[in-house]
Amino acid sequence: EAGVVQSPRYKIIEKKQPVAFWCNPISGHNTLYWYLQNLGQGPELLIRYENEEAVDDSQLPKDRFSAERLKGVDSTLKIQPAELGDSAVYLCASSPTRGRNTGELFFGEGSRLTVL
Amino acid sequence: SQQGEEDPQALSIQEGENATMNCSYKTSINNLQWYRQNSGRGLVHLILIRSNEREKHSGRLRVTLDTSKKSSSLLITASRAADTASYFCAALLKTSYDKVIFGPGTSLSVIP
């Protein structure tokens, strides 16, 4: 079974430029999460999807961040414009559908963003 | 804000010794999970303990949960150099189904 796939693994951009990250969850996993992880810290939730619906986006900085999950499968997280403080690792995770969900998350390898 | 706090922030031990990491949380939970993260990689689920359980074992891992103190501990016995990684506790909140909040993590170094 394929795991959660994220791309790109690494991205270096200049401030004020846009950037997008892509995530393909495990097949059959309806819940998808985007987390931000700063160096030496734990992941912080940005947004959580149930199928195509964003059920928790309270921590997403909506002035510059946006996300979508069309058709309830793949998801894209976008930052426009990027700021120096956005340098971090962006992690995508998925989990099985509600009813069988113990809360265990399956993570991708992450997308490391460096803003210069 | 993150729900969990962990200590120690960093731990360095000799191979063969046991490593204990502690986690505290703030609100009611459905379960408490532990994850491992190797440098530059994603997180990998290690073990889950439900709110009605007190102790759980998996191989060299032992997890305890004290809901009255809102705390959990992860014990890795007979550590190996390959156990060197960061370890995170994560709480599945009772008030928000499917919301998983992570602690700041413990960085473990196992010296051969």
Could you read off the pLDDT of B12-25 as tens digits, one per residue?
Answer: 999 999 999 999 99
For every residue of A14-66, DSSP letters joined together read: -TT--EEEEEE--TT--EEEEEEE-TTS--EEEEEEETTEEEE-TTS-TTTEE
- Classify residue A1 as exposed, middle or buried by CB count within 10 Å of its CB (0-12, 13-18, 19+): exposed
For A13-70, what is each residue's pLDDT tens digit?
Answer: 999 999 999 999 999 898 999 999 999 999 999 999 989 999 889 899 999 999 999 8
User: Which residue on chain A is closest to B2 by alpha carbon?
Assistant: A44
Report the residue from B41, B88, B100 with minimal CB separation from A103. B100
Peptide bond into A25 cis (omega under 30): no
Subunit contact B99:A102, Cβ cutoff 8 A: no
**Tokens describing residue B63:** 């997890």
Residue A101 in contact with partner chain B when CB distance is under 8 A: yes
For B45-84, what is each residue's pLDDT tens digit?
Answer: 999 999 999 999 999 999 999 999 999 999 999 999 999 9
Calculate the dihedral angle through the C-alpha atoms of A88, A37, B104, B89, rounding to the nearest 10 degrees: -160
Quote the CA–CA distance of A74 and A53 in Å, as a whole number: 13
Report the residue from B96, B101, B104 with minimal CB separation from A41. B104
Partner residues linked to A5 by β-bridges = A24
- Cβ(A64)–Cβ(A83) below 8 Å: yes
Name the 3-class secondary structure at A31. Answer: strand
User: Which amino acid appears at position A95 of this protein?
Assistant: S
| Residue whose token pair is 């390898």 | A109
B34 min Cα distance to partner chain A (Å): 10
